């Protein structure tokens, strides 16, 4: 029987699935801590690794004598050394469309909380001396405003449908889809600079690249007082530039769920009371956590027995699957 290594806490339904698999004879190591040093000493036994957001470096891959598949508990994989997996012929799988609604809802929440200045409003009530804050009328409406979605995959499309309920005008920037084929619907593509100047609200849903898609120069092109939501990846938005823009009012408010370093102990965003911060939880609702845990385990086992959907294998072209 194969041996499965679980690196990171799973939803109880995922844990129950592990118990059933163990009863059937599957070898399982379950490490709840989310760190590479916590699971690395066990990697040599594993045929399959289910991993949360912690790193998987080339040094750890080199110790994985039996490893055939790494199954991500999610859809992003920037913390995994894909080149090291490719060199060994190890598959990397993702869970597919199990968290897109949760992430889109979180982005919608960020936009609303930013527009309504939810943090400042909350503090005005808790600190009775601040009750008069209400008379500054900082809160805004998003209804009828312009929304630019950066990255128009499944999450971006869900967000567009939600925004339509607020009668927002929606455009999207996604160079990949412009080449591969833009999806049908009312949302049209727009060049980045044009979209930044047009948008009242911006939501980021693109993979991490070599540089931030929104750095100081791009932020300067935005409308003064724009609202930003980032549920993509840390480093997609320049945190220092964003903090400066929040302090100056160039960006009126921002919702940030992802950080360059997690936890973000030294992030300049921590000092900004117009930044709504959350600990990388956009896809971690109870509902989504259950779906991801089960799908991640199923993907690992399906890859071992050859029944995996090839579309869920990130490096399928390298592996000729």
Active site residues per annotation: 233, 262, 280
3-state secondary structure 71-104: EECCCCCCCECHHHHHHHCCEEECCCCCCHHHHH
Q: What whole-number distance in Å separates Cα of residue 76 and Cα of residue 281?
A: 13
Distance of CA 127 to the CA centre of its chain: 33
State the greatest distance between any 2 C-alpha atoms of the chain, in Å, as a whole number.
67
With a CB cutoff of 8 Å and minimum separation 6, the contacts of 242 are 214, 219, 228, 251, 254, 256, 269, 275
Q: What whole-number distance in Å separates Cα of residue 151 and Cα of residue 13?
A: 31
CA atoms within 13 A on the CB side of 165: 7
Torsion of CA 256, 259, 262, 268, to 10 degrees: -90
């Amino acid at each position: 029987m194969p041996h499965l290594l679980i690196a990171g806490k799973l939803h109880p339904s995922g844990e129950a699935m592990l118990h059933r698999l163990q009863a059937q004879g599957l070898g399982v190591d379950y490490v709840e801590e989310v760190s590479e040093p916590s699971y690395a000493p066990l990697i040599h036994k594993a045929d399959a690794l289910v991993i949360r957001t912690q790193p998987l470096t080339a040094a750890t891959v080199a110790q994985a004598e039996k490893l055939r598949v790494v199954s991500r508990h999610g859809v992003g994989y920037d913390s995994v050394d894909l080149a090291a997996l490719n060199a060994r012929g190890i598959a990397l799988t993702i869970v597919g469309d199990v968290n897109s609604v949760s992430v889109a809802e979180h982005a919608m929440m960020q936009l609303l909380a930013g527009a309504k200045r939810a943090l400042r409003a909350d503090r005005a009530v808790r600190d009775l001396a601040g009750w008069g804050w209400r008379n500054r009328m900082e809160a805004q409406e998003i209804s009828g405003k312009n929304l630019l979605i950066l990255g128009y995959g499944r999450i971006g499309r869900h967000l567009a449908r939600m925004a339509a309920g607020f009668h927002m005008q929606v455009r999207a920037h996604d160079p990949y889809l412009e080449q591969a084929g833009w999806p049908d619907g009312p949302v049209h593509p727009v060049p980045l600079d044009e979209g930044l100047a047009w948008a009242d609200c911006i939501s980021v849903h693109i993979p991490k690249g070599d540089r931030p898609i929104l750095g100081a120069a791009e932020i300067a092109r935005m409308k003064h007082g724009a609202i930003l939501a980032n549920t993509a990846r840390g480093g997609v938005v320049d945190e220092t530039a964003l903090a400066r823009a929040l302090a100056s009012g160039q960006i009126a408010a921002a919702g940030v769920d992802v950080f360059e370093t997690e936890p973000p102990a030294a992030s300049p965003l921590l000092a900004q009371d117009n930044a709504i911060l959350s600990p990388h939880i956009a896809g971690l609702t109870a509902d989504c956590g259950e779906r991801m845990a089960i799908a991640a385990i199923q993907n690992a086992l399906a890859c071992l027995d050859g029944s995996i959907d090839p579309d869920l294998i990130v490096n399928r072209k390298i592996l000729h699957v």
